[in-house]
Amino acid sequence: MKNAEVNRWLDFNKKRRLIEDKLDEQLAIQAHKLSLNEFYALYFLGLKDDEKLRLQELQAQVGLSQSAMSRLVVRLERPECGAIERTTCEDDKRGVYIHLTKVGEDVLKSTLPNIEPIIKENL
């Protein structure tokens, strides 16, 4: 039994996975060797004028669990990467802000030109 809506959803999902696989391949050969989720995190931070988001906001935008997001943040803030930094929210000491650093800005700027053509070609 065929269902047109389910088939459209499956086709869409297949195309999305294909694009994500191509993006992953491209990111893996870049100098910074980002994962796709790491790229997403930098990109979402770069969209903000002040280049910072609360950790929970960033987690929701990237679409990771709390523990997976914590691991991603640790990787991106390590000295060998240095793309982000954390600060405590002044209004709520339990809140954490994630900031894009100058290094993170440079990584994002150098990555985007290699990512855009893949998206354009496959949409």
| Residue 89 to residue 70: CA distance in whole angstroms | 17
**Which structural domain, as residue segments, surrounds residue 9?**
4-122
DSSP label of 20: H
Burial class, 80, CB count within 10 angstroms (exposed 0-12 / middle 13-18 / buried 19+): exposed
Tokens encoding 51: 């280049």
pLDDT at residue 49, as a whole number: 86
**Pairing assessment for the beta strands 96-100 and 52-54 based on DSSP bridges:** antiparallel
pLDDT, tens only, 17-76: 999 999 999 999 988 889 999 999 999 999 988 888 999 999 999 999 999 999 999 999
Residue among 71, 77, 47, 46 at smallest CA distance from 59: 71
pLDDT, tens only, 82-112: 999 999 877 777 788 999 999 999 999 999 9
Within the chain, how many helices (H) and strands (E) appear?
Answer: 5, 3
Mean pLDDT within 9-13: 95
pLDDT at residue 31, as a whole number: 80
At 12, which CATH number?
A: 1.10.10.10
Residue 96's contacts (CB-CB under 8 Å, 6 or more residues apart) are 54, 55, 86, 87, 88, 89
Give how many domains the chain has, as a whole number.
1
Mean pLDDT within 5-10: 94
pLDDT at residue 48, as a whole number: 87
